Amino acid sequence: MYRSLKSKLFDEAYAPVQIGRFRVVQTLGQGGMGVVYSAQDLQLGRLVAIKVIRDDRLREGAKDRARLLREAQMQAKLSHPNVVQIHEVSESEGGLFIVMELVKGATLREWLDREARPLAAILERFVEAARGLSAAHQAGIVHRDFKLANAMVGEDGRVRIADFGLAVADQSQQETEPERTAGAAAAGHTSKHAGTPTYMSPEQVRGRDCDARSDQYSFAVALTEALFRRPPPPAIERLADRTGALALPADPPAPQWLRQALTRALSLDPADRFPSMAALIEVLVETPKRRRRRALAAGLVVALAGSTALGATLFAREQTKSQCSQAENGLASLWDDTRKAALHDAFTATGMPYAEKSWQRASSMLDAYAKDWADVSMSNCQARQSATLPLERHFAQSAACLDRQHDALATLLTDFATADRALVASADKAVAELSPPDQCRVTPTMQLIDGSVGPTKTRVRELLDRGKFLTITHEGRDAVAFLETALAEIRSTADVAGEAEALLLLGRAKSLLSDGPGAKDFLNQAYDRANAAKYSALKWEIWNELAQVHAVVFDDPAEARRCLDHAKSEHHPDPRAAEAAIAAVESGIFIAEKRPLDAVALRRQALATLKSLYSADRPEVSLARLSLAAALGEASQLQESHQMHAQLLADLQKEYGLEHPWPARVELNHGLDLRELQQFSKAREHLEHARGALVRTYGETHLWVAKADVALAQLDIDEDAIPQAIERLERALATYDAIVPPTHAERVNALVVLTEAHMTSGQATKVLDVNRRLLAVHRADSVHSKVDVPGVLANIGDALCTLGQCEEAQSYFAGLLAYDPTSEPLLQALGLRGIGLVQLRQGEPEIALALLQRALKLLEQAATDRTGLAAMQAATMRELAEALAALRRDPRRVRELRRRAAELESAE
């Protein structure tokens, strides 16, 4: 304030106030907990509200700070349209602040004071507030200070509950502590007495524990004040009156049912109130509806006295019924018995053994989808006919939403008519990707989307839907070429929202093929076009996809987290489904951060969310189970991982059949588990069967087939079938070269396994060739390379020395010494050993001896569980023995080194 005044008096500029990464814009208000500012988030580029906690609320230091952090973290977990979202809790210069969603609008008190509001409008606002409180209660949170000033009415008309500053967990989660003294409360400490006296429940006044029914009491006080322009007597006064009687004002008049509801909610004994906020909401919402229905029935009885009036009434009702019947039958022309029979024939014509089961699953899902779509369409039509509130924008948005779903279904059914094997295999997954009809249902509290609601041209939507289904069913293969052609056509129509969607799909298809740079480029373009089109509903998907690319393809968890923060801050049309999608990506970030246990916890949470949304046999649930099993493997919880793979395999084979590619993918993982357990015979049986099933659906040139070939090659190496292993690996590499970029992690892994096969067979020339290919991959794109460069340098040096080219090998071994010896002692050992070997071959055993002794010491200090360490130790021992023998020194040590080397080699 001082700097602002000074700048105006003396025309001086002053630096803006900054709290952490947030630049303060202006003061919004202050209360018992602290001061609230609007601020600019300099990292995410958005406006937020920041509550800076008053120092006197932290007088007990760490204990108060921990309590406030716990309360804010509880609310941050709560995501509901009628609750202000908390983004984060942080500290700056010793102070504590909470970053929240910035709601532009007025408090509920200000909204009431601006003009006289009709009863229907007041009830609509308070029902929204009640839903916010109910959601908090379901999350185990009690507000404890609900009042008119703590509810915001946004510019979009939606109410959001704010200021959970006094919130505590519900009694099932609340920690036990002695009641504070009156003196402590007066000193500003948070206690069971904290709150605003007018709105405090009787149990708060008495200093007793509060639960959801306490919030119900405060809510009823606020609603009474809104209706009668004055609150009921405070609880402390009613408690002093032995009768505790409550008499609501007679004026202005209010319906008797509403007076009864308020009287019950304001009972002094919590047991006499409504059992929950949900029960009170039902009274506030359903009672007016029942009264309207009774009024309509009474009106009809009166109208029977005049035949003209009766005829008019019946005509109007029949007209409404007829109009809504048309809405209900909107999908009849798309999904009828004739279409079903034709599509069934198309599926079975592929000749796949699982075609019949795939059709049954897909058609059952489509039946349910058509029923849901018709239900929403009918509900919206009936609501529009009887609407008394100004909901035209709601109906227009919902109609556009239903039209988009209608077109998407039409495109999918057209594709089903010419289904290939891959589409038949993934038919249920394609149906599952249709957006839920319930997203289009009109409700007074639905969130209206400003600006673009997506592509508007039918042809553009058809291209996008086809590209989406192709990406899903062919996993990026063939989708890129189709989408690039579609993008050119979409751009010619000047449909910017459609262009944004096409770019997102291209980014997703590139990501599936592990083309990180290509995916990143398309996704960045998608965000620019979504911004230009004001297509807000698409932004979270773009950011989430970028986070996935940075975590999985680029192995850059820091950048992935930044993208994920953006995704979380954007609008989500389907919050619970979005929550599961974001959790899946964040679990991948945890794995990139080497935090597999956190990844396991998050994938368990995502699986639980999906199980609450879908039936157990839905593709989304099966994929979540597979992801959880993979995370368990990363966390070395191998037993549970193996059990999950085995159970999922059994479930999928029962649901889809033995030859379907979905169970085949899980069977592939199960085979790898069995190899890890050294059950080679069973592993080979499962891997061969999985490969055969995958080939029958996708053909030989497919990523999953190549993955099966590499797994079988590793098994061949285990069992010394080296020529067969090399043949498989060369076939897999031909597939990778045809489909994915050179830096693809699985392609790199295939080259590493090929190195192992050539080493086992003693083919130094081929080892040299493969490792030079790996080094070329790294040098072509070192930023995104997954190549183990030190290992490659060591392999090249060893191969060159074996081929008598030790002088050339020296530069490769020297490259290993460039790594930090304190953080990478093993690389230092490999470098020293390599240069020692060069010196030995060049006739310098004295120099070689010193280098090899240092190398062996470092190798013996290395972690014993490192792959290939024993072989490297054995080789170094033999070379050290050779150097000692050349110098005619210590024959006893020479014999000991050779004996130990032989023991290590036999153990391998």
886: helix, strand or coil: helix
224 vs 190, higher pLDDT: 224
45 vs 843, higher pLDDT: 843
581: helix, strand or coil: helix
Predicted pLDDT at 575: 76
What would the pLDDT profile of 864-880 be if each residue is shown by its tens digit? 656 677 888 998 999 99
What would the pLDDT profile of 513-543 be if each residue is shown by its tens digit? 888 889 999 999 999 999 988 888 889 999 9
Whether residue 303 has pLDDT greater than 50: no
Distance between CA atoms of residues 61 and 883, nearest Å: 67
Backbone region of residue 555 per phi and psi (left: phi > 0; alpha: psi in -120 to 50; beta: other values)? left
Q: Which amino acid is at 266?
A: L
Q: What is the pTM of this model?
A: 0.61
* Torsional sign, CA 242, 243, 246, 249: negative
Q: In sequence order, what are the beta bridge partners of 22?
A: 19, 41
Distance between CA atoms of residues 835 and 136, nearest Å: 67
Assigned token pair, 355: 């075609």
Other residues' Cβ atoms within 10 Å of the Cβ of residue 413 = 16
Predicted pLDDT at 326: 56
Distance between CA atoms of residues 570 and 545, nearest Å: 13
What would the pLDDT profile of 55-69 be if each residue is shown by its tens digit? 665 555 566 667 677
Backbone angles phi, psi at 18, to 5 degrees: -130, 135
97: helix, strand or coil: strand
Do you know the residue count of the chain? 908
> Tell me: domain 2-101, CATH 3.30.200.20, correct?
yes
Q: 370 CB contacts (<8 Å, ≥6 apart)?
A: 331, 334, 335
Predicted pLDDT at 871: 82
Predicted pLDDT at 158: 86
- Superfamily of 105-175+192-291 according to CATH: Transferase(Phosphotransferase) domain 1 (1.10.510.10)
What would the pLDDT profile of 698-725 be if each residue is shown by its tens digit? 999 999 999 999 999 999 999 999 999 9
Burial 158-195 (b: 16+ CB within 10 A, else e): bbbbbbbbbbbebeeeeeeeeebeeeebeeebbbbbbb
Cis peptide before 455 (omega within 30 of 0): no
Closest by alpha carbon to 513, among 750, 702, 698? 702
Domain spans of the chain, in order of start: 2-101, 105-175+192-291, 788-908
Run of H or E residues at 51: strand 46-53
Predicted pLDDT at 305: 34
What would the pLDDT profile of 190-214 be if each residue is shown by its tens digit? 334 455 788 999 998 888 888 899 9
Per DSSP, helices labelled H in 535-637 are 536-548, 557-569, 575-592, 596-613, 619-634
Predicted pLDDT at 81: 79
160: helix, strand or coil: strand
Whether residue 366 has pLDDT greater than 50: yes
What would the pLDDT profile of 720-761 be if each residue is shown by its tens digit? 999 999 999 999 999 999 988 888 889 999 999 999 999 999
Whether residue 856 has pLDDT greater than 50: yes
Predicted pLDDT at 801: 86
Backbone angles phi, psi at 862, to 5 degrees: -70, 160
Whether residue 556 has pLDDT greater than 80: yes
Predicted pLDDT at 444: 65
Domains 2-101 and 788-908 share a fold: no
Q: Catalytic residue numbers? A: 145
Give the distance between the most distant pair of CA atoms in the chain: 128
Distance between CA atoms of residues 745 and 732, nearest Å: 13
- Superfamily of 788-908 according to CATH: Tetratricopeptide repeat domain (1.25.40.10)
Distance between CA atoms of residues 223 and 261, nearest Å: 11
What would the pLDDT profile of 15-40 be if each residue is shown by its tens digit? 678 888 888 888 887 766 678 888 88
